[in-house]
Homo-oligomer: A and B are copies of this chain.
Amino acid sequence: MTETAGGGRDAEAVSKFVESFAAQLVEAGMQRMPARIFAALLSSDEGAMTSAELGEQLQISPAAVSGGVRYLAQTHMVSREREPGSRRERYVVHGDQWYEALTNREAVLKRWEGALRDGVTSLGENTPAGRRMAETLAFFEFIEGEVSAMMERWRVHRQQVFGD
């Protein structure tokens, strides 16, 4: 058993999981550092770590932590907290907030819709290409509406299974 100072957990097993989960995130399009940082936070007991802790576990420089965290904060996957009267920051995965962010690609959808609308105009509403474009646009609009309903159902489901 590989127990270290980290609080009685099998550090090696944790690290292995962190890397393998990060790899999945990378494959899905996330940058490497944000992915690793996120995975580390997700598998910490508190769901929160300081910059120094992240640096040590992942063997990366403070600069890398800073960059990765900035990305995660911007995309609302993680939030920054700081105990009042200290300048040590804690980076926190807020329970369920993060996968809501993951699903709420609303900004992305909106941009796609914008681009598609331009497409319909550029190509002409009555060209075959224009009609295909319009249908695609309709698909995204449909999805956008469905997603929020779906998340609502999830909250109900979650409540039932996990309580609060």
Task: Name A residues whose Cβ lies closer than 8 Å to a Cβ of B.
Answer: 9-10, 13-14, 16-17, 20-21, 24, 27-30, 42-47, 93, 95-96, 99, 103, 108, 111-112, 115-116, 118-119, 122-124, 127-129, 132-133, 135-136, 138-139, 142-143, 146, 150, 153-154, 157-158, 161-162
CB atoms of B129 and A44 under 8 A apart? yes
Complex contacts, A115 vs chain B, CB 8 Å = 17, 20-21, 24
Copies in the complex: 2
The CA-CA distance from A27 to B161 in the complex, in Å, is 36
Complex contacts, A158 vs chain B, CB 8 Å = 135, 138-139
Q: Which of B10, B96, B116 contacts A21 (CB 8 A)?
A: B116
| CB<8 Å pairs between A and B, sample of 17 | A9-B123, A9-B124, A9-B127, A16-B122, A17-B123, A20-B115, A27-B108, A28-B108, A28-B112, A42-B129, A42-B136, A43-B119, A45-B129, A47-B128, A96-B135, A99-B136, A139-B158
